[in-house]
Chain A
Amino acid sequence: MAEPMGFYTDTTVCIGCKACEVACKEWNQLPATNGGLNTLSGDSYDNTRRLDGIHWRHVKFIEQFTEDRQEGRWLLMSDVCKHCVRAACLEVCPTNAIIRTEFDTVVIQSDTCNGCRDCIAACPFGVIDINPVSGTAQKCTLCYDRLQSGMEPACSKACPTDSIQFGTIRELRERAAQRVQQLHEGGEKRAYLYGADEKMLGGLNSFYLLVDRPEVYGLPPDPKMPSRNLIPGSLFSLLGATLVGLIGLFHLRNRSTNDREEAQP
């Protein structure tokens, strides 16, 4: 297996140009929303709205302004699939359509997916959705086809400020740690890395430098694996079945009662 590859996104240098969104759409030949008849969302400059089957990159615009708009700041972030080391989507997929590649990324094989949508419910980041053209679940592939040809993913290649950086995870983590230190030394003490270590789902192969709480960026503070409920859920179901079984056995068993009279209308 090749060394794990991924993205490091430094949100402090994102300028919201959406070049990543356009490059992603171009390379992956993703269709336009509603045949190009998109409407404005009214939510800042964000008309993409969310990641889905035809938007594998999504630049978020978070306006943090006072009521009189005299003070404030923009938070900009190019969101994408996190290519989790412990991937919830891959775990639940009943058809094995979702695979881990030799680059340690997570890819949905469109020719295998049957659109059960279990992965959509399982993804803790709300990344996956059905592509209306293929009728299958789709998301960022981290440009698997480009990686296999030794190329960089389209989005990071197009990013004009290097907000999205592509490389080996080891190298990206070193670079990100240095950047956090630089920001701290420059007075931006709120800077931290989201998903760069193994604590979060074994590590996110697409991790972020943020300057506010994760939920401000629409990211879960504590993403979990769906399988956390498998054993307790099964045991409680078994308990329910046992209780129902005992009730049924007690009343339905063959014994001499006056049931016959009771059954008369």
Chain B
Amino acid sequence: MNGIPSSTYFTASPEWGWLITLYFFFGGLAGGCSFLAALIDLFGRPEDRPLARLGYYVAFPCVIISGILLTVDLTRPLRFWHMLLASNTFLPMFKYWSPMSLGAWALLMFGLFSFLSFLASLVDGDRLSWSGGRRLRPPGMLGVVLAVIGGLLGFFIAGYTGVLIAVTNRPIWSDTPLLGMLFVVSAASISAALMMLLARSLGWTMPGISALLRVDAWVIILKFFVLIAVVTSLGPVARAWLNAWGLLLFFGVIVLGILIPLALYWRRDWLGDRNLTTAAVLVLVGGFILRMVVIMSSEAQ
């Protein structure tokens, strides 16, 4: 193809920049925290219950931020509702084969579920007085349903963004089907890191924190292998990362966001008290850089 690695190089940039990068990050946190909170709620120890509440406390503000970022990014923000209702008939606007259409509905539903979980957590944590609130928390049937659906929607929110950019014709994004998987795994890792970080800053010592540490360690190992698979699956298009973006991916994501945190998780005495918090911060920074590199490096083509 005369030195051009893919037919995707003949397309135009949608100029999805910082707002979308931030959305992918906050959406990942919202989805991942909700999923981890649901896991703790449904299968965890009773003493880890505050950790689950913490997950919901993070998820809802993050989903609100996500909605604002997405709306502001539209060139006609006041028409954001056209994603949900047909503007001429006011009937529901839904295309199951369009990830953006699916995502708009999923974000709305996830927003509703995470709001209910947020409220229920406030009640559960004695921060809000509402008689019906405790029924929205497991082990009550309503609470279980809320946690299951909210957790699954959370995973969808964390991963559909990768599928959305793959269902285009842009370089890198549409040259691999693995970005959704990468974003799901990364969302779990940054969410576990943030929950650990917040729990430690609150001085909590429940066993779930160590469990989250082990989850994060395994998930960032998984992230490393998925990232290698992404680069491999890109084939000749991976040359697009033989530049500053590639350096950022290597040092920012692999070294800073994966290898150093792994080492810190493994050798917990290196930095003493700051070991875990340093590792968690690096995982979060690496997760943000990952999304930045994936989005911006394609936009630069």
Contact = CB atoms under 8 A, between A and B. Distances in A.
Most buried by B among A92, A121, A230: A121
B166 interface: yes
B133 interface: no
Contact of A112 (B82, B188, B273): B82
Interface in B154-180: 155, 159-160, 162-170, 173-174, 177-180
Interface stretch (A11-19, A30-38, A166-174, A221-229): A221-229
Contacts of A230: 97, 99, 163, 166-167
A114 B74 contact: yes
Given A122-B169, A240-B182, A248-B188, A112 B87 contact: yes
Contacts, number: 236
Nearest to A136: B76
Interface stretch (A144-152, A202-210, A231-239): A231-239
Contacts of A125: 10-11
A237 B74 CA distance: 26
Contact of B7 (A92, A220, A232): A220
Interface in B199-219: 200, 205-212, 214-215, 218-219
Contacts of A252: 36, 39-40, 43-44, 48, 208, 211-212, 215
Interface stretch (B12-20, B56-64, B239-247, B281-289): B12-20
Interface size class of B (residues with CB under 8 A): 35 or more
A50 B12 CA distance: 10
Interface in A28-53: 50-52
B83 A116 contact: yes
B169 A88 contact: yes
Most buried by B among A96, A240, A262: A240
Contacts of A223: 7, 10, 169
A179 interface: no
Interface string B86-102: 11100001010111110
B300 interface: no
What 3 pairs across the A-B complex have the smallest Cβ distances? A115-B75, A259-B207, A237-B180
Given A126-B10, A230-B99, 19 more contacts: A91-B97, A114-B79, A115-B75, A116-B74, A121-B11, A135-B76, A222-B7, A224-B7, A226-B167, A234-B163, A234-B180, A240-B181, A245-B155, A248-B36, A249-B43, A259-B207, A259-B208, A262-B210, A265-B273
